[in-house]
Amino acid sequence: MLTDARRAALFACWFSAVTSAVFFVTGVVALPVPLYVPLVHRWVMSASAAEQLGPLGSLTMDYFGRSLLAVGCGAVTTLLGMICLRLRHRTSSLVDGKSSPGTSLKPSPIQLQLALAYAVTAFLLCAALFAYKLYGREPSSPVLPDPSPTSADRLP
Amino acid sequence: MRRPFGRYSEQVPPVFLQSWGPLLVVIHALSAVVLCGASVHQAVLATLLLLRRAVRGRLLRVYSVTTLLSYLATVTGGALLYPRYRVVIRALFLDQNAPWAANLFDFKENLATLGLPLAVGALLLAMPLSQRCARISPTPGDVVTDADPAADSDAAADSQRLASLTFLVMALGTALVAVTNLIAGLVCTAVRGA
């Protein structure tokens, strides 16, 4: 866990900004992501499963794959950033001959302002994109057999 | 002839955890209510912190941990329910009768993914900020003093204030996502329940 609030703020903004940016890209470009096909209980790595699985493959769920990709990219880049900062701090400590942890390599106010601005902008842009895409979207599910119970089903 | 438990039609293949749907919906809803309460409390504490009012560091940690755990529980419950929703609720009913509800539900799901880093970020920030709260002693007027022992210069003080602002943005964002999703989920469930 980070002990300095400034570094924590920088990495929190970085995680949010990268996740929102990657999620935005998955909403614009049909990337090959893990698709779940609920009617055949299968995972497919593709942008579309219809051509691989026939009619049942037209009912797919890309939400899991897109979410995993976005959150995974955000988490991995944040962890890499933390490791790089730690290594850089150790290197500079060795060069300077100082061993006081947490006294150097803290983000400046300008860096924090920029990080916060990027995170907020990416979040708002991504939320606006999905609001725009989903507002008035036409139904896309394949026609399945009528599930309404018949009068015989209602009888005890 | 009776249908197998949890199946809406014998002609539609069963989906993952179909018969557990009602129970999972209740667990999902309960964790969402906990998430709303914890995240709104966390946002209030973040506002007080930015206004330099006295805040208990322990409360900051408790609400941040509760928010993240309930967020993960809600997202996990929703993910387990999603295959059933996609076939039984959306494909069989909402797409034909209330497509706007299906669109609202999908927006809620996407918003939930965007909100997860905010909850994680709020927890990352709550830990060092709660330690800082413990170092600053409140004045009798319930207002925290301006002098921060950790702030050794004006730039450091600015950075600390920006860290508090970032915490407010993360906490407020999490609370907004949680409340919006709770309302959207209730509306969709009112249109077509579990």
Per the CB < 8 Å rule, is A40 touching B113? no
Whether residue B141 has pLDDT greater than 70: no
Give the pair of three-digit tokens for residue A65. Answer: 């794959």
Rounded Cα gap, residues B158 and B161, in angstroms: 5
Provide the whole-model pTM: 0.84
Q: State the pLDDT at residue B22.
A: 86
Place of tokens 């009617």: A39
Rounded Cα gap, residues B169 and A121, in angstroms: 12
Helix (H, G, I), strand (E, B) or coil at B14: coil
ipTM above 0.95, yes or no: no
Give the pair of three-digit tokens for residue A7. Answer: 């570094």
Looking at chain B, which residue has its C-alpha nearest residue A6? B163
Which residues, in sequence order, are CB contacts of A44 under 8 Å at separation 6+? Answer: A34, A35, A37, A52, A53, A57, A60
Whether residue A1 has pLDDT greater than 80: no
End-to-end Cα distance, chain B = 22
Rounded Cα gap, residues B152 and B129, in angstroms: 16
Sorting pLDDT into bands at 50, 70 and 90, what band is A52?
Answer: low
Rounded Cα gap, residues B119 and A93, in angstroms: 33
Q: State the pLDDT at residue B158.
A: 79
Whether residue B172 has pLDDT greater than 90: yes
Looking at chain B, which residue has its C-alpha nearest residue A3? B128
Provide the mean pLDDT of chain A. 81
Closest to B167 measured CA to CA, from A119, A19, A81, A78: A119
Sorting pLDDT into bands at 50, 70 and 90, what band is B139?
Answer: very low
Sorting pLDDT into bands at 50, 70 and 90, what band is B8?
Answer: low
A54/A83: higher pLDDT:
A83
Looking at chain B, which residue has its C-alpha nearest residue A137? B103
Instruction: For B115-148, give the DSSP string.
Output: HHHHHHHHHHHHHHHHHHHHHSPBPTTSBB-S--
* B82, B92, B129 member nearest A5 (Cβ): B129
Residues B21-50: pLDDT tens digits?
889 999 999 999 999 999 999 999 999 999
Per the CB < 8 Å rule, is A131 touching B106? no
Helix (H, G, I), strand (E, B) or coil at A35: strand
Most confident of A81-90, B104-113, B132-141: B104-113
- How many beta-carbon contacts under 8 Å exist across A and B? 170
A106/B116: higher pLDDT:
B116
Whether residue B71 has pLDDT greater than 60: yes
A156 touches chain B (CB under 8 A): no
Whether residue B178 has pLDDT greater than 90: yes
Q: State the pLDDT at residue A136.
A: 79
Q: State the pLDDT at residue B154.
A: 73
Give the pair of three-digit tokens for residue A83. Answer: 């490791």
Give the pair of three-digit tokens for residue A84. Answer: 């790089």
Interface probe for A, chosen from B8, B103, B111 (most Cβ of A below 10 Å), is B103
Task: Please tell me the least confidently modeled range out of A73-82, A126-135, B46-55, B88-97.
Answer: B88-97
Residue A105 Cα, gap to closest chain B Cα (Å): 12
Give the pair of three-digit tokens for residue B37. Answer: 């309460």
Whether residue B144 has pLDDT greater than 50: no
Residues B87-123: pLDDT tens digits?
888 888 888 888 999 999 999 999 999 999 999 999 9
Q: State the pLDDT at residue A107.
A: 82
